[in-house]
């Protein structure tokens, strides 16, 4: 009888623990869905910004490679380099990721399909950050080169960044072909990384996000 009582107590405790973990699992999935909805907005905004940035930088390199440095093109160069030669630094929401890891990892997520989809989503997020670091590294080098070409004194001080608004007619600090071409080469490389690496990764992650949302909703 004593053994039976102890065994029944063990089963009751195990069942209670199982129920508590199941409730925690559902809470984590609710939190995950909230994070993913925020990520959706972040990814959509970043994708739109990257498309604009690529087009702007591509236009900048076309002007330099074209070799026409008449005043309208110089004005455009000043506008494009300040508007689009900027870092990318979007960060997706990792609230639930940190909570899950602090709670003992993915063991709480019993549904294998959901767990695999979450891990894939996190892995691609890390790839996105690696692409960001790579692109931003090239951006820094291109920006360093821009200081020998563009003079910031021409930009009119306004609230925030001004793009096509100048104090006076802007002039290039140099028209030396080698300096301009090296700058254009760095910008061109950065813009192609944006288009063919980072943008495609953003689109893949957007698909991963939508699939993960549907997988979680179906399972829970």
Mean pLDDT, the chain, whole residue set? 89
Is the predicted pLDDT of residue 9 greater than 50, yes or no?
no
Q: Could you give the count of Cα atoms lying within 13 Å of 26 in the half-sphere of its Cβ?
A: 7
3-state SS class at 102: helix
Nearest to 170 by CA among 181, 148, 155: 155
The pTM is what? 0.86
For residues 202-206, average pLDDT: 98
pLDDT at residue 4 is higher than 70: no
| pLDDT computed for residue 57 by the predictor | 98
Beta bridge pairs of residue 155: 166
User: What is the span of the domain harbouring residue 83?
Assistant: 2-219
Give the whole-number percent of the chain exceeding pLDDT 70.
Answer: 86
How many distinct structural domains can be found in the chain? 1
């Amino acid at each position: 009888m004593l053994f039976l009582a102890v065994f029944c107590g063990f089963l009751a405790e195990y069942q209670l623990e199982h129920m508590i973990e199941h409730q925690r699992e559902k809470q984590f999935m609710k939190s995950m869905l909230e994070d993913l909805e925020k990520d959706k907005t972040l990814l959509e905004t970043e994708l739109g910004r990257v498309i604009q940035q690529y087009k702007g930088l591509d236009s900048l390199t076309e002007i330099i490679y074209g070799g026409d440095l008449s005043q309208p093109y110089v004005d455009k160069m000043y506008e494009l380099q300040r508007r689009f030669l900027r870092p990318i630094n979007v960060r997706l929401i990792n609230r639930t990721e940190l909570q899950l890891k602090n709670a003992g990892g993915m063991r709480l997520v019993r549904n294998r399909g959901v767990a695999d989809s979450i891990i894939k989503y996190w892995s691609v997020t890390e790839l996105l950050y690696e692409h960001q670091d790579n692109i931003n590294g090239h951006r820094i080098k291109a920006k360093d080169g821009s200081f020998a070409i563009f003079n910031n004194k021409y930009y009119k001080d306004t609230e925030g960044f001004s793009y096509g608004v100048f104090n006076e007619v802007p002039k290039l600090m140099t028209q030396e072909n080698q300096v301009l071409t090296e700058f254009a080469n760095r910008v061109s490389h950065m813009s192609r990384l944006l288009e063919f690496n980072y943008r495609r990764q953003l689109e893949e992650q957007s698909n991963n996000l939508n699939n993960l949302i549907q997988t979680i909703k179906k399972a829970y």
